[in-house]
Amino acid sequence: MHRGGPVSLVDARVERFNDAEIFVEVFENVRGEDMFIIQPTSNPANDNLMELLIIADTLRRSSAARITAVIPYFGYARQDRRTKARTPITAKLVANMLVEAGIERILTMDLHATQIQGFFDIPVDNLYASPIFALDVKHHFKDQLDDIMVVSPDVGGVARARELAQRINAPLSIVDKRREKAGEVAEMTVIGDVSDKTCIIVDDLCDTAGTLCKAADLLMEKGAKEVHAYITHGVLSGPAVERVTNSVMKSLVITDSIEATGPVQAAKNIRIVPTAPLFAQAILNTWNGTSVSSLFDNSTLGPIYEGLYTT
């Protein structure tokens, strides 16, 4: 990032050799500069991760003063612990690789497991989508805020759902799901009364959307008036878009932390809210040495999103 004046992308090229090896060349002098690499490690996760590592190595060897990796979606975050014998903790491996490549700071959003911050011995700023979602809910549901019920799709996501519920002053319900094996949901029950409520399911990521759509069905069976979902990371792989399109959900709101595919953009009940204003301000605050956590306050975040949520 250049000091003073408008900020533009550094002139560089990222290419593939015939055997798919990645090559990076930077065409500008970055010596002594504060550099920010913006790279979600989403699908294709391995290619995007290697690009990030190689760009970081390029900048380090070019004498950049500091390298911050801006990773809107942190891939491999679901592999944050050993779930059974002889399995990896890949999130820790990725953390080690990022630091070894020369990255000195991480800026990301809604880590699947917040303890991943502790996998790093460098600063990690984990931004939250809930303040943006709260602004969006207050704008789009302003006439029915008293009827909203925030729903966590599982027990593990209660803290995340509670954060949004507190911001919009809404009650909280939980869907308790029990898995027989990975990818299958054997049994789901609702904890809390959702009858005649506008239910908003909150989670950090949606992959195949199987659990999300089943939770929406269950909430409607329990008497919900309508169901919406606010999910930070729209992984949306395989049959996800078709499932969401055909589901009882009125809307699925995701962020642009992962680049939307054509089917996602075309889906009639999927809406995308931008994270760029929040990340841009966080990058500016990091560069200036001012508070990043202050961006979670409505008084600070509101003006950043003023053009999007004017009433």
Locus of tokens 């990645």: 22
- Nearest alpha-carbon partner for 230 in 251, 253, 261: 253
Q: Regarding beta strands 172-178 and 148-152, do their DSSP bridges make them parallel or antiparallel, or are they unpaired?
A: parallel
Residue appearing with tokens 């533009």: 8
Closest listed residue to residue 88, CA positions, set 96, 77, 79:
79
Rounded Cα–Cα distance for residues 238 and 235 (Å): 10
Q: Do 131 and 303 form a contact (C-beta atoms < 8 A)?
A: no
Catalytic residue among 84, 138, 142, 177: 177
N-term to C-term CA, the chain:
34
For the chain, helix, strand, coil in percent to 5 are 35, 25, 40
CB of 159 closer than 8 Å to CB of 115: no
Strands (E), 94-147: 105-109, 124-127
Tokens matching residue 64? 């950049």
Closest by CA to 141, choosing from 253, 18, 47, is 253
Measured in degrees and rounded to the nearest 5, phi and psi for residue 238 equal 55, -125
250 tagged catalytic? no
Residues with catalytic annotation?
A: 177
